[in-house]
Structure 1
Amino acid sequence: MSIERADYSLPCEKSSAEKDSGPHVYEGEAIVYPNDGSENVIPREEETHRALSSRQLSMIALGGAIGTGLVIGTGTGLARSGPASLFMSYVVMGTVCCGVMMALGEMSTKYPSKKGFAGHATRCVDPAFGFCTALVYLCKYLITSPSEIVAGCLVIRYWNDSINSAAWVAIFIALVIVVNILGVKWFGEIEFWLSFTKIITLIGLILLALLIDLGGVPGQERLGFRYWEHGRAFKAYKTTGDLGKFLGFVNALVLALFAYIGTELIGITIGEAKNPRKTIPSAIRKTFFRIVFFYVLSSLLIGMVVDSSSPLLAQAAKKGTSGGASASPFVVAIESAGIKVLPTIINGCILIFTISGAISDQYIASRTLYGMAKDGSMPRVFTKCNSRGVPWAAFMFTSMFMGLAYLVANSDALSVFNYFVNSVTTFGGLTWTSILSSHVAFMRGMKAQGISRDTLPYKSPFQPYFTYCSLFLICFISLFKGFEAFMPWDYKLFITNYIGIPIYVIAYIGFKLIRKTKAVKIREMDLTTGAQEFHDLDEETDEERQYKSMSFKQKVIYQIKNW
């Protein structure tokens, strides 16, 4: 395959032409500086493959967010804030999550870029904004992958704590590496079934919670909304009175954010999605309904079957992920109902949650670094891909951070990784802020240039108000999430809750000063280049042709499988 005008110099090295150039415009996947027309072109061999279907995309997006934050973190939220605050927090954050997904959908179907949502930030706001967006997202997943591995080791301690955790770390790291180097086709299928297992587990837990609430367990009476009565719907946290109840709700919002983080994975998988203009809207719609069903319904039922003042719940909340299944509020409900054996089964399912999380987190980390290199903000070596479309150089670099999981061998590792969780939530909130800010600029640019929203391949409802409201809420949560650090003062909590903000700001200012980038003016925003790039993908796919030829029975089975 021929390579045209390939530039193998490090992207961090600036030419004299670049130093005097203005804002760049897009030419496909290349960056063109308008003063001299020179390009920063990635050779064609260095490309990931488009192999993820709508079925895999939507399942991975949902499965990427279903983890310990939902099945375990809800217990902490219930114990601190009460059932009403827990339920309301999941409704509010679910709404924000949908706003983020819809914003991604509009931009990604218009410009299906392998650079992900950082590419949208570069195009619509400022190259420096794209860099800081990608950097905080990369930091998030460099931390979450080893954190999931540690969580897996801690879950295993539920059965046997005599084996050195370092051995389990090595096994999990090897498993994560094998799945990722197989290529995106195998990754998509394996993650599909792991995510499918998560969903089946969650459906089972939801049905069981409903059964317990309605008095379907022998010897147990109907609960209804008993635990919401007598002033127990809202609990005060850190202080008393209405202020304490408000702080409880804010804390529940933070924990809900941690549970929802990961659904933006669609923004990274776009570069490897088949027919993105059709698969992305389909995946977003499916994810929206699944969020309503799984997250909101789970938070409601947990508050109905578990007393927020239960000693078992208080004990579970203190254990967190270190307690395995015993830390889940679902298990508290099962034990309170006198049901045996199930806690062990649920522990096995939670282990699958952590393994799946580590695999997908490593995928995201490598693709984020790859996207940054494609955008010219990281060394070009990270764009190298093998024959299976795996960005092996980026993957090798991000895989090294999984070694942090060996801290589990240290007796203080649990507290260290609890602080990491705080940082993950901060980085995740900043990522959502960037996505929504980019969408605001995108909509303003379209309006200023007289481009109708009806021309968008995917047009989300309630805009621009939905994005503005979502942006306000996520900014509020990101700024006030660390209030615990002041009650009383705890510098460790303060640092881990806010460390992402200075990294975000310094990355933006530093990149802007070094690369001398300029903010994109809304009337000069490039809203045409790249929009035609994927028209050839809009043709009818083999999957669609096969569906049309199916019998009614086959179509029903297909729809159930792809729900």
Structure 2
Amino acid sequence: MGFDEKIEDKIIDREKSLSSAEEYYDETFQEPTTEETLHRGLKARQISMIALGGAVGTGLIIGSGTALVRGGPLGLLLGYSYVGFVCYLVMVSLGEMAAFLPHKKGFAGYATRFVDPAFGFALGWNYLMKYLIVTPNNVNAAGVVVQYWTQSVHIAIWMVIFILFIFAINLLGVRVFGELEFWFSAIKVIALIGLLLMGIIIDLGGNPHHDRIGFRYWHAPDGPMGSYLLDQVHNSKTAIFCGFWAVMVNALFAFIGTELIGVTVGEAQNPRKNIPIAIKRTFWRILVFYIGGVFVIGLIVPRTNPNLFVATKSKTGAAASPFVVATTLVGIKVLNHIINAAILVFVMSAANSDLYIGSRTLYGLALEGKAPAIFKRVNRMGVPYPALILCTMFCTLVFLNVHASGAKVFGWFVNLVSAFGALTWMCILFSHIRFMKALKSRGMSRDDLPFKAPFQPWGSWFALISTGIILFFKGFDTFLPFNTANFVTSYIALPTFFWLWLGYKLYYRTKLIPIESIDLVTGLRAIDEEEEKYLAQETEKGPRTRLGKIWDSL
């Protein structure tokens, strides 16, 4: 008996037992009505690119300079590899739940359903706050990138233009948004491939100086590891460890964003097939670009170069990118403007997808009754326009940059985003652990799921503990010496999440859902009907041409 037959039996049993007081049930588990629903218009290739566009941005192109200074080339590679593996475990855990139940309520829906309504409320608002911050962060980065070319136009004007641009794209509907974001992200992929090839060529001696660099910067006087804060002059073991830990924190910020696939499932075509495909593709692309990218950066740029971006400096944009520093060192100047244009595409694409995810997260909260009902309204194109307008309004946070340096604002946003993002990862992982226990209690094998996450259940536990440790110690440098602003932005997410969870729990008197009472089937019938309707429409279109199949597989 396959997955569909087993689920159908479970649905029938579930419908017979809805009146049982022992069975936990919430009417918000049902899919929304046609009048207030999103449109399933995203294809697998678009979902993959949206996830890539939202994840690959300033963390690699600009922020990796800070990580190189503090951790050295080896520390940079090890830190990004470790957090990259944790990111993979988060992705597959999310993919298992999303392929089984591709609903339109985002992560909060899984937390509400598998853990506790209060837990879902806290996660939903935590994730929303992350995107209310990360979107202006990328707009802020775009503004300072443009200043590399000219400072004759006030940065506030550029920010207004960028905000209006991403708002207009999101307002056009998911089909237009998905196609435009696909091409934006495709440009990013081409640019990244070009930067990686350029770095390898420079390292092997293909530069104006004909200087074969090799692993020269790994054999610097202070070794392949960096040092940070404590006893940097003498390069003590403590300073080396602090440098490596700073890389871990930086890598966490860089990888956060890959999980946004869990929000796109609500608008994905044939989600049980396309979501697993998108997750697998996204992982390999990010693995190559991030791990490969930081490895190349460690080869061609010395960690002691004063031009590398550090959050305490005012220099940003192309001049602060490790790739531009590398071209400058070997005498290549013409590429700087091209790289700066690529960076602008990077951050604008990320801001575009961030605004999309923020609006859908608020929409999902409204569907569950955890946000004002006005935010579940959609227009005829399936765009939750009230949620989109509110999220766009928060983009005005970028005007903090008018009274403070771009680098300082960037550092504050990085602290906030990484904290909110880490909490989101932990909630996803805990929800997945509960999901696996619920399947086991019902005698349902994970082998029958549309997508089975590897390395489980130990993978989710490992990623949960690792992310928790990084989150707890992420602000260690705020104490050496103590910096009030950085301390607050590093840790404000923790009490915020706690009070959201506790306040909802006390007000509604919710309890942790017993494993045996977790609802695994409500709403599945509606999702199955949507899937059958989509497949019927595809059948009516006739067989795909070879070119069409290749296009869809991109």
- What does the per-residue CA deviation read over 1:136-193, in whole Å, with 9 as the maximum and x for residues that have no partner? 1111111111221121111111111121122112211111111011001111111111
- What does the per-residue CA deviation read over 1:251-303, in whole Å, with 9 as the maximum and x for residues that have no partner? 10111111111111101111011110011000011011112211110011111
CA contact (8 A) 1:120 1:130 kept: yes
1:477 to 467, 470, 473: 470
CA distance in 1, matches of 2:282, 2:26: 30
Match of 1:124 in 2: 114
Task: Tell me how far 1:404 sits from its aligned partner.
Answer: 1.7
Runs of 5+ unmatched residues, structure 2:
1-20
Q: Which amino acid aligns with 2:126?
A: V
Task: Tell me how far 1:320 sits from its aligned partner.
Answer: 6.5
CA distance in 1, matches of 2:35, 2:422: 35
CA distance in 2, matches of 1:543, 1:287: 25
Match of 1:352 in 2: 345
Match of 1:73 in 2: 63
Q: Does 1:440 align with 2:433?
A: yes
**Aligned-residue CA RMSD (Å):** 2.1
Runs of 5+ unmatched residues, structure 1:
1-20, 31-40
Q: Which amino acid aligns with 2:25?
A: V
Task: Tell me how far 1:43 sits from its aligned partner.
Answer: 4.5
CA contact (8 A) 1:72 1:321 kept: no
- What does the per-residue CA deviation read over 1:370-414, in whole Å, with 9 as the maximum and x for residues that have no partner? 000001111111100000000011112222111222233324565
CA distance in 2, matches of 1:429, 1:227: 32
Task: Tell me how far 1:358 sits from its aligned partner.
Answer: 1.6
1:103 to 83, 90, 93: 93
SS class of match (2:469): helix
Q: Does 1:235 align with 2:230?
A: no
CA distance in 2, matches of 1:470, 1:192: 30
Task: Tell me how far 1:324 sits from its aligned partner.
Answer: 0.7
CA distance in 2, matches of 1:175, 1:125: 39
Match of 2:3 in 1: none
Q: Which amino acid aligns with 1:292?
A: L
2:515 to 502, 522, 529: 522
Match of 2:295 in 1: 300
CA contact (8 A) 2:313 2:407 kept: no
Match of 1:455 in 2: 448
CA contact (8 A) 1:73 1:320 kept: no
SS class of match (2:517): coil
CA distance in 2, matches of 1:186, 1:490: 45
CA contact (8 A) 1:46 1:385 kept: yes
Task: Tell me how far 1:340 sits from its aligned partner.
Answer: 1.8
Q: Does 1:25 align with 2:18?
A: no
Match of 1:391 in 2: 384
Task: Tell me how far 1:365 sits from its aligned partner.
Answer: 1.1
CA contact (8 A) 1:23 1:520 kept: no
CA distance in 1, matches of 2:296, 2:512: 47
CA distance in 2, matches of 1:399, 1:453: 40
Q: Which amino acid aligns with 1:377?
A: K
CA distance in 1, matches of 2:57, 2:93: 24
CA distance in 1, matches of 2:116, 2:99: 20
The 1:394/1:23 distance shift into structure 2, 3 A limit, reads: farther
Q: Which amino acid aligns with 1:387?
A: R
CA contact (8 A) 2:51 2:259 kept: yes
CA distance in 2, matches of 1:152, 1:479: 30
Match of 1:275 in 2: 270
The 1:483/1:319 distance shift into structure 2, 3 A limit, reads: closer
The 1:459/1:66 distance shift into structure 2, 3 A limit, reads: same
Q: Which amino acid aligns with 1:89?
A: G
Match of 1:168 in 2: 158
- Any runs of at least 4 consecutive aligned residues in structure 1 with deviations exceeding 6 A, and if so which? 541-547
CA contact (8 A) 2:365 2:371 kept: yes
Match of 2:18 in 1: none
The 1:262/1:47 distance shift into structure 2, 3 A limit, reads: same
1:249 to 244, 250, 257: 244
Identity of aligned residues (%): 46
CA distance in 2, matches of 1:339, 1:452: 58
